[in-house]
Amino acid sequence: MPLRMSRQVMDIMIMLITIMDTVTTIMGTTTMATAMTRTVMPVMAMTSMSMTSIAVTITIIIMITTASTTTTVILMLMTTNKAADDSPPNDSPALSADEGAALYRLMTWLSPAFPVGAFSYSSGIEWAVEAGDITDAASLQDWLSAMLSDGAGFCDGVFLAHVHRAASDGDDKALREVAELASAFVPSRERQLETTTQGKAFIEIARNAWSHEGMERLIAICDSPIVYPVAVGLVSAAHGVPLSATMHGFFHAVVSNWISAGARLVPLGQTDSQRVLAALEPVVVTTGHRAMAASLDDLGGATFRSDIASMRHETQYTRLFRS
């Protein structure tokens, strides 16, 4: 910052010296207006790019005496450092220590680098590609939009929300019942393998890397196998991560993994994959809001083709994925 200010002051001083020298030279042969046009305006144009953080007011008072041989030029320079330049561009408050820690953990837990083995599952997308249901980016987007808003995605979001609330409120009975229902709600054997394996890995890594005294008790309450959305809701609640952030982060992670599987199977380029992810953004947001407002009575899906795909994948001849 000091180097930048010294350069600006230097530019201004050069401008003033040039104006005084030139105006003094030409005032004897031309009018004051012409002199100002020929000197002040070009110099200001040359130096204006370097005066971004200084408000410069130049008042030129030219006093011409009756004697043609005397010309006095008085230039007064006023520079004001704006206080706004030293303030942050955004007035929004900074994250507290707890909020920063919660965001850090959530981004880690739902990152593709978090080792839950999500990359080895396609949720039936592999069979849909072989059957010709998914052939390009547009058909992949349609398939995933339906899975998210009217299928497994929405149901997993509902389970996550209810587990998070039960764990946060200390409602052990509701936590046990929701965890059991979520485990029984999976439509096929391979999808059961997919969600329980990821749920177990998520719990084990979180409890070893981010141990929490209340998490062990919550895990013990769940008698049935802990599926992936239940694991995410349980751990995030134990660490005080807000439900809304957890919900949207969870959906982003799930959709990203689906797109990754589709990109390898169709195949799709990286740009097309990102276009699909961007196009699904409003679906993720809307489904997240619906899932947080839904009751357990609202559970259900209408993506029968997706459920069939997860079943048919069990006997598919050539397979790259485990589901």
Residue 80 sits in the same domain as residue 114: no
- Encode pLDDT of 88-98 as tens digits: 556 678 989 98
If we measure between CA atoms, which residue out of 100, 209, 223 comes closest to residue 173?
223
Name the domain count of the chain.
Answer: 2
Lowest-pLDDT range, 11-25, 31-45, 158-172? 31-45
* Predicted local distance difference test score (pLDDT) of residue 92: 72
Q: Are 169 and 221 in contact (CB under 8 A)?
A: no
User: Which pLDDT score, from 0 to 100, does residue 51 have?
Assistant: 44
Is the domain of 50 the same as that of 124? no
Tokens of 164: 């998070």
Task: Write down which residue in 35, 58, 86 finishes a domain.
Answer: 86
Residue 295 resides in a domain: yes
User: Considering the domain boundaries, does residue 322 fall inside one?
Assistant: no
| Residue 152 to residue 166: CA distance in whole angstroms | 21
| pTM score of the predicted model | 0.73
Tell me if 297 is assigned to some domain: yes
Element (H, E) at 256: helix 243-265
Asked if residue 279 has pLDDT above 60, the reply is: yes
Domain assignment present for 92: no
Q: How far apart are CA 153 and CA 221, in angstroms?
A: 25
| Contact between residue 82 and residue 52 where contact means Cβ atoms under 8 Å apart | no
Is residue 67 one of the residues assigned to a domain?
yes
Residue 29's pLDDT is 45
CATH number, domain at 208?
1.10.4190.10
* Tens digit of each residue's pLDDT (9 = 90 or more) over 234-259: 999 999 999 999 999 999 999 999 99
Q: What digits encode the pLDDT tens for the residues 33-80? A: 444 444 444 444 444 444 444 334 444 333 433 344 334 333 343 444
Q: Which domain holds residue 267?
A: 97-315
One-letter amino acid at 71 equals T
For residue 25, list its beta bridge partners: none
The Cα 245–Cα 242 span in angstroms is: 6
Q: Give the up-direction half-sphere exposure of residue 164: CA atoms within 13 A in the CB hemisphere.
A: 24
Contact criterion met (CB below 8 Å) for 277 and 256: yes
DSSP bridge pairs for 74: 61
Q: Is the pLDDT of residue 114 over 60?
A: yes
The reply to whether 323 falls in a domain is no
CA nearest to 286, candidates 88, 191, 145, 174 = 145
d(CA 285, CA 251): 9
- For residues 30 and 127, state if they share a domain: no
Instruction: Choose one of 35, 63, 86: the last residue of a domain.
Output: 86
Q: Is 23 in the same domain as 50?
A: yes
Assess whether 62 and 140 both reside in one domain.
no
Domain boundary among 37, 53, 86: 86
What is the C-alpha end-to-end distance of the chain, expressed in Å?
57
Q: Do residues 190 and 323 make contact, with C-beta atoms less than 8 angstroms apart?
A: yes
Residue 276 has pLDDT above 60, yes or no: yes
Per-residue pLDDT reduced to its tens digit, 189-229: 999 999 999 999 999 999 999 988 889 999 999 988 999 99
**Whether residue 119 sits in one domain with residue 32:** no
| Greater pLDDT, 78 or 288 | 288
- For residue 179, pLDDT beyond 60: yes
Question: Which letter does DSSP use for residue 4 in this model?
Answer: H
DSSP E strand boundaries for the chain: 54-64, 71-81
Same domain, 201 and 61: no
Q: Name the DSSP letter for residue 299.
A: -
Are 56 and 9 within 8 A, CB to CB?
A: no
Averaged confidence pLDDT in the chain: 81
- Are 272 and 137 contained in the same domain? yes
Identify whether residues 242 and 130 lie together within a single domain: yes
Question: Within this chain, do residues 183 and 303 fall inside the same structural domain, yes or no?
Answer: yes
Together in a domain, 263 and 293:
yes
| Closest of 202, 198, 150, 155 to residue 178, by C-alpha | 155
| Residues 287 and 140 placed together within one structural domain of the fold | yes
